[in-house]
Chains A and B, each alone.
Chain A
Amino acid sequence: MADTKDLQVREKQEAAAPGEYTRPGLVFTPRTDIFENEKEIVLLADMPGVKPEDLNIDLRENVLTLSGDVSPFEGAKEQNILMEYDVGKYQRQFTLSEIIDQPGIEARLNNGVLRLTLPKIAKAQPRKITVNS
């Protein structure tokens, strides 16, 4: 693993929404890592500027929705000189193929990175059904 490569600037990706948002402001797709092992699926998402109380995680059917509000950082009297990135909400949806043990879900937001642990439900044991005549 080349761990010390130089970081490149990557534009924040605006989220594609099926409809327009009623509230003004930009919406971005957080960059996300997802990996799984036998027991759980882990999701890491970069959401800089989102406070724990402004983060919403919703799992319905098998659709996982992450959304984070960002309150503007600037003071009221500040004037812009150089602006290289935009600030906006974060939103992203994933469809999960595994059945998740809902009460076991754990979410931690640390320094603007969300770590979401989704434990898998133990697979039902295959059961042989014998037909009685």
Chain B
Amino acid sequence: MITRNMFDFPGLSWRSPFGEIERMRRDMEKISNSMFGTRGLRRVHSGVFPPVNLTEDKDQYYIRAELPGMETGEVDIQIAGNSLAISGERKIPVEEGVKYHRREREAGSFSRIINLPNAVDTEKIEAKLANGILTVSIPKAEIAKPRQITIK
């Protein structure tokens, strides 16, 4: 929940405003890790489908989501400013004349907005869907890239 709140304020740095709380959360995680091991640990998530993992390198942000069984045309991605919207509908055809033993897979529609921590270049975003994994590569805006400063 904390993580989500941070991303709801795109203008603020994702480190500073809740830095203290974040640090406390990490400390708590460390304690629980030492007690139960990492396997018992559950991720903090926002509760909106699909769960995403957001990573960055020097030049880009990467958003990845697991969308098994979805085709490229069924996922809609839009960007405005630095919020990225992912929406779509997962369809599972109903089989006729069969007897179900198990039904654990779910169909339905979804829509999610992810606020990126910093300014991005909206022109050069790339998205691909392979083996049920959606990857969106978002180049950082020039001003948001880290710059080396040489000491004179």
Contacts and interface: CB of A to CB of B under 8 A. Distances in A.
Interface of A: 1, 3-11, 14, 26, 31-37, 42, 44, 46-51, 73-75, 77-87, 110-113
B52 A9 contact: no
A74 B14 CA distance: 21
A7 B108 contact: yes
A16 to B, nearest CB: 11
Contacts of A77: 57-58
Contact of B90 (A7, A32, A81): A7
Given A6-B49, A84-B46, A112-B133, A33 B56 contact: no
Given A82-B3, A82-B54, A48 B43 contact: no
8 contacts: A7-B50, A32-B102, A33-B104, A47-B132, A84-B43, A84-B51, A112-B69, A112-B133
Contact of B131 (A3, A11, A80, A111): A111
Contacts, number: 150
Given A84-B53, A111-B68, 5 more contacts: A6-B110, A7-B108, A46-B68, A79-B55, A81-B56
Interface residues of B, number: 56
B137 to A, nearest CB: 10
A33 B103 CA distance: 5
Contact of B70 (A3, A26, A34, A111): A111
Contacts of A110: 69
Taking chain B's interface residues, is the majority helix, strand, or loop, or is none over half, making it mixed? loop
Interface in B87-124: 89-92, 94-95, 97-110, 117
A44 B69 CA distance: 10
A87 B54 CA distance: 13
Contacts of B42: 11
Which interface residue of A10, A51, A73 has the most chain B CB atoms within 10 A?
Answer: A73
A64 to B, nearest CB: 13
A9 B49 contact: yes
B48 interface: yes
Nearest to B91: A3
Contact of A9 (B45, B69, B100): B45
